[in-house]
Amino acid sequence: ETGVTQTPRHLVMGMTNKKSLKCEQHLGHNAMYWYKQSAKKPLELMFVYNFKEQTENNSVPSRFSPECPNSSHLFLHLHTLQPEDSALYLCASSQESGRVSGELFFGEGSRLTVL
Amino acid sequence: SQQGEEDPQALSIQEGENATMNCSYKTSINNLQWYRQNSGRGLVHLILIRSNEREKHSGRLRVTLDTSKKSSSLLITASRAADTASYFCATVIQGAQKLVFGQGTRLTINP
């Protein structure tokens, strides 16, 4: 139990589908993150939310739409994805963003396959 | 190219031996962190070393940091089969306010 819960753990979708990934943290943290992990590539930071406000969008295509209704929940809405978007999507949280001086707590990830 | 690069990309050793992984980075940092990832799972934080520290220990883990060479090493002593995982270094770049990960070292401990 990591304190950061991601659902679903596995998702298969077609290119025309709309789906969402959900992340919930039970650690009382103020910052939440989405990372993408593809084979043979470093972790790519996608989005950062600090106190529910988006503070980083790392040039992510608009077919990925994040939502952060409160400091404990983070969503990643997916629509008209491409096969190359297949990857492990990792959610993380930390005490604060802005000054990343501490550790990140990761969820177990959502394995996405786009057909 | 990415900020942190681990070396080697893959390492296979016998149980009980020590494992050493290295990380090099390019720009000034606030701190450097090491994480472990079991296959297909999330990352787990192992240890954080600040830019003004040179060495840190946590159980069987020993981390060193040489800011003049922009490099760090992670030593796992008396390795166990359960240590089989990928290990990533991550740096907090001064002024960038975000954590940047390397590509990782895949460590295999053979029983």
Cα B68 to Cα B64: distance, rounded to the nearest angstrom: 12
Per-residue model confidence (pLDDT) at position B70:
94
Q: How far is CA A96 from CA A46, A51, B78, in A?
A: 17, 8, 35
CA A6 to chain centre: 9
Q: Are strands B105-110 and B10-14 parallel, antiparallel or unpaired?
A: parallel
Does the structure show a pLDDT above 70 at B3? no
Residues of chain A whose C-beta is under 8 A from some C-beta in B?
2, 4, 6, 35, 40-43, 45, 48, 56, 88, 90, 92, 97-109, 111
Q: Which residues of B are less than 8 Å from A111 in CB distance? A: 40
Cβ atoms of residues B104 and B86 within 8 Å:
yes
Write the pLDDT tens digit of every residue in A36-61: 999 878 899 999 998 889 988 889 99
Return mean pLDDT, chain A.
91
When pLDDT is cut at 50, 70 and 90, the band that residue A64 belongs to is very high
Per-residue model confidence (pLDDT) at position B4:
72
A103 to B33: CB separation less than 8 angstroms, yes or no: yes
E strand segments, chain A: 4-7, 10-13, 18-25, 31-37, 44-50, 53-57, 64-70, 73-79, 87-94, 105-106, 110-114
When pLDDT is cut at 50, 70 and 90, the band that residue B107 belongs to is very high
pLDDT-wise least confident of A15-29, A89-103, B75-89: A89-103
Q: Which residues of A are less than 8 Å from B44 in CB distance? A: 2, 106
Section A66-79 average pLDDT: 96
When pLDDT is cut at 50, 70 and 90, the band that residue A1 belongs to is low
List the single residue in B2, B43, B92 with the smallest CB-CB distance to A106: B43
- How many Å lie between the alpha carbon of B60 and the closest alpha carbon of chain A? 19
A88 to B102: CB separation less than 8 angstroms, yes or no: no
Q: Which residues of A are less than 8 Å from B35 in CB distance? A: 104, 106
When pLDDT is cut at 50, 70 and 90, the band that residue A101 belongs to is low
Burial label for B30, CB within 10 Å (0-12, 13-18, 19+), is middle
Helix, coil or strand: residue B82: helix
Section B46-63 average pLDDT: 96
pLDDT > 70 in chain A, percent: 94
B92 to A45: CB separation less than 8 angstroms, yes or no: no
Segment 44-83 of chain B within 8 Å of chain A by CB = 44-45, 48
When pLDDT is cut at 50, 70 and 90, the band that residue A33 belongs to is very high
- How many Å lie between the alpha carbon of A103 and the closest alpha carbon of chain B? 7
Write the pLDDT tens digit of every residue in B84-104: 999 999 987 777 667 889 889
B99 in reach of chain A (CB within 8 A): yes
